[in-house]
Amino acid sequence: MPAHLVPLAVSTLPESCSQCSLGELCLPVGLSNNELSQLDQLVTVRRRVLRGQHLYRGDDPFEAIYAIKTGFFKTDVLLEDGREQVTGFQMAGEILGLDGIGTEKHTCNAVALEDSEVCVIPFHDLENYSREIGALQHHFHKVMSREIVRDHGVMMLLGIMRAEERLAAFLLNLSQRSMARGYSATEFNLRMTRNEIGSYLGLKLETVSRAFSRFQDEGLIAVNQKHIQILNVAGLKKLLSERRT
């Protein structure tokens, strides 16, 4: 359908959880139709966050968690001396803000790496609905648990992998999440800078750049600035399993 024929309303009307195309990637997993319509009452506000803007900052009061509807975020923690540790990159369907529940303040920053839109889920309301909808409660617990497991994976990256292993794991992870969202598993645009990748992987940007170049020389990937094409998935995976030391 030519662009001028697409009804404007499709993109401007509020879209409910029950109609959201993200579906199983987000919170509404295994809910009945009736329960889904309750979710629509829980999630009534959406918020646009332009590239470079903060969704929240460390120390902000915690009031809601956020489901990414469109866009791409990073979360990071800053040390007093200015050093940054990127704790994660989040894409559509993933949940932001879980760090704030424990202290009722956010403990990291969430920054949009491209123009994004998030669904605001007031946390107090979520807990209320969770008490009525067992499936929602259970799924929320799963989301939190998976975040913990994901963090353990990052610890392994940082604790025992070498530079090229870390970058290979990073690319394979992006590839897999891209595929889960219906995009290409082998070709995508990085939303983050080399510096941000490095901060996430515990490396300096030069090291990230060099690893990209080496992967390209070896025919594993094709790099053109932020555009990445994975040419040899098996080769990347092999980097992870084959340990010499």
CB-nearer residue toward a second copy: 50 or 160: 160
225 binds, among DNA, a second copy, none (CB under 5 to 8 A by kind): DNA
Angle, helix 134-160 to helix 123-132, in steps of 10 degrees = 120
Which positions from 195 through 214 interact with a second copy, judged by CB under 8 A?
199-202
Residue 26 φ then ψ, to 5°: -110, -145
> Tokens 């559509």 label which residue?
92
Residue 207 contacts DNA per CB under 7 A: yes
First to last CA, the chain: 57
By CB under 7 A, tell whether 73 contacts DNA. no
Tokens encoding 137:
């409660």
| Interface stretch with a second copy, choices 45-53, 73-81, 169-177, 189-197 (CB under 8 A) | 73-81
Closest approach, Cβ 53 to DNA, in A, equals: 15
One-letter amino acid for residue 60 of the chain: D
Task: Pick between residue 135 and residue 163 the one whose CB is nearest to DNA.
Answer: 163
**Of residues 51 and 138, the one with the C-beta less far from a second copy:** 138
Secondary structure E strands in 64-218: 64-78, 84-91, 95-96, 109-122, 187-189
> Footprint of DNA on this chain (CB under 7 A)?
162-164, 190, 193-195, 202-210, 212-213, 223, 225-226, 245
